[in-house]
Amino acid sequence: MAYALGLDYGTNSVRCLIVDTSNGRELGTRIYEYETGEAGIILDPSDHNVARQNPADYLKGVEVTIAGAIAEARKADSKFDPKQIVGIGVDTTGSTPLPVDKNGKPLALLAEFKDNPNAHAWLWKDHTGYAEAAEITALAEKVYPEYLAKCGGTYSSEWFFSKVLHCLRVAPQVFDAAYTWVEHADWLPAVLTGTDAPDKLRRCRCAAGHKAMFNDDWGGYPNAEFLAKLDPKLGKLRATLGDKTFAVDEAAGKLTSEWASKLGLTAGIPVAMGAFDAHLGAVGSGIKEGVLVKIIGTSTCDMVVAPSSTKLPDIPGICGIVDGSILPGCYGLEAGQSAVGDIFNWFVNYIQPGGKEAGSHQSLTEKAARLRPGQSGLLALDWNNGNRTILVDQRLTGLLLGQTLHTRPEEIYRAIIEATAFGALTIINRFEEYGVKIKEVVNCGGIAEKNPMLMQIYADVTGREMKISRSAQTCALGSAVAAAVVGGAHPSFSKAQAAMCGIKETTFKPIAASHKVYQQLYKLYKQLHDGFGLKDKSMAMGNVMKDLLTIKEKANA
């Protein structure tokens, strides 16, 4: 028997999953909620953009969740022995970089910086670097447009260099104290394998390629000269980043005996290179050529792979095209919607239509399910948190249209669900327009599992069958797949996925009559999408949302 252990660091908690490598059976699992801040996030009431995390929570999570998962696995199978675990895989959120000192120790764990949020991990959804993102985009457009071509044409405030540069500007004492910055996805495997000293550290292809403009075509990370134009100190940081990155089929190192004895595992088992949660989630959902994996949560990640031998064009508006970021030997293509579940949550938690009970997700879903496509006369844009793909514009805002004096909450609820489905279709169409054929769609994440109405709407809107990943914890399962491969239980990702991953029996097939109505509605959605979203001045409405934001910013000044 060979078991694989996957660690999945999410936004508010970390999960450990122990999986039978021969059949994907999930023996034991355990979640640990981060303790610092609100729901594990260090916030700043005076600045909505701040979102930091305490690396101490990441460390405590290792011990708590592995011990818990082992205990559960033992209960599930009396023959289970943690010594049968052959490897560890790790996924984390990202870009979530943290400043570390010369020894690789996070500044946040030093007494001097422990109360300084700038010295902590800068969580993916920290947007404090929005001005720096614009600066990086503007500079790259001028001098290295190829840097942007691989990441959709715009460098995001969520990404590595925006955050590092912002820290340099607002907290120079932190920046100066840091030897380098390390992604959470790189740091955690390095800690477990004792390779966290900067000269030993291996950085993963996934984070570097998708969030830090790493590409072998131009020698890895952006060159020092480019970075120095943003700030000379950033130019100097370039040397600490190295020139090589590693895909998830390689090991970051071997589990140290210290950690092994602490965790009750075998010393020396390999720990796979880390990757982002969505990327390993795609692996856990069985991603392969032709399969789109949609990870549907507060936002979505839409993941596709194409063999590295393919001659792929740049695809405008796609978040990243990175060789080896999802599966070794394949380009990983990442797209996504900036908000999906978050929009439904906004409506339920902020608007609270009819009060808390009548306006619950459950109650609204029940009523919305009784409506026919097109019946409400409503149409919405899914832009309450901007548009990640294909417009790459975080400053776009929501829109609801068609309301009368009789419009009811459940109609609005359904309209925003439909809007996210239209957004999903727009992404699928973009892939296909550029020659990346989508033959199959596999969904995962809580919303996909728990809301059959939503899945049916997605099927009806896209005209495609919606499948759902069998595992309820696909990210951790994907980490376990990587663990199984580096641990030698399977010779390749495809073999490991075939053994360990699968889809649920129930799928959602498009209903022809509904699809026909949604095709008409989608035409109108696309008209609004292009009219309000394209920067092209010939579109009548392209200025409206931005002008409103300018007015809003002045009103708040």
CB of 353 to a second copy, least distance (A): 5
> 357: burial class by Cβ within 10 Å (0-12, 13-18, 19+)?
exposed
CB of 404 to a second copy, least distance (A): 5
DSSP code, position 389 = S
> 333: burial class by Cβ within 10 Å (0-12, 13-18, 19+)?
buried
CB of 419 to a second copy, least distance (A): 12
Q: Which is nearer to a second copy, 90 or 343 (CB)?
A: 343
CA pseudo-torsion sign 191, 192, 197, 202: negative
CB of 464 to a second copy, least distance (A): 21
Angle 434-95-491 (CA atoms, 0-180°, nearest 5)? 70
CB of 528 to a second copy, least distance (A): 7
Q: Coil, helix or strand for 218?
A: helix
Q: Which is nearer to a second copy, 135 or 460 (CB)?
A: 460
Q: Which is nearer to a second copy, 504 or 516 (CB)?
A: 516
CA pseudo-torsion sign 145, 146, 152, 155: negative
CB of 362 to a second copy, least distance (A): 16
Structure tokens at 351: 């608007």
Structure tokens at 210: 């998708």
User: In the chain, what is the straight-line distance between the N-terminal and C-terminal CA atoms, in Å?
Assistant: 63
Using DSSP bridges, classify how beta strands 330-337 and 300-307 pair: parallel, antiparallel or unpaired: antiparallel
Number of neighbouring beta carbons within 10 Å of residue 246: 20
Q: Which is nearer to a second copy, 329 or 542 (CB)?
A: 542
Q: Which is nearer to a second copy, 178 or 461 (CB)?
A: 461
Q: Which is nearer to a second copy, 157 or 325 (CB)?
A: 157
CB of 542 to a second copy, least distance (A): 9
Q: Which is nearer to a second copy, 333 or 412 (CB)?
A: 412
Question: For residue 390, what are the CA distances in angstroms to 207, 215, 319, 429, 530?
Answer: 21, 22, 9, 10, 11
CB of 398 to a second copy, least distance (A): 4
Q: Which is nearer to a second copy, 102 or 372 (CB)?
A: 372
E strands present in 225-268: 251-254
Note the residues at the interface with a second copy (CB under 8 A): 48, 339, 342-343, 345-346, 350-356, 358-359, 372-379, 384-385, 397-409, 412, 517, 520-521, 523-524, 527-528, 531, 539-541, 543-545, 547-549, 551-552, 554-556
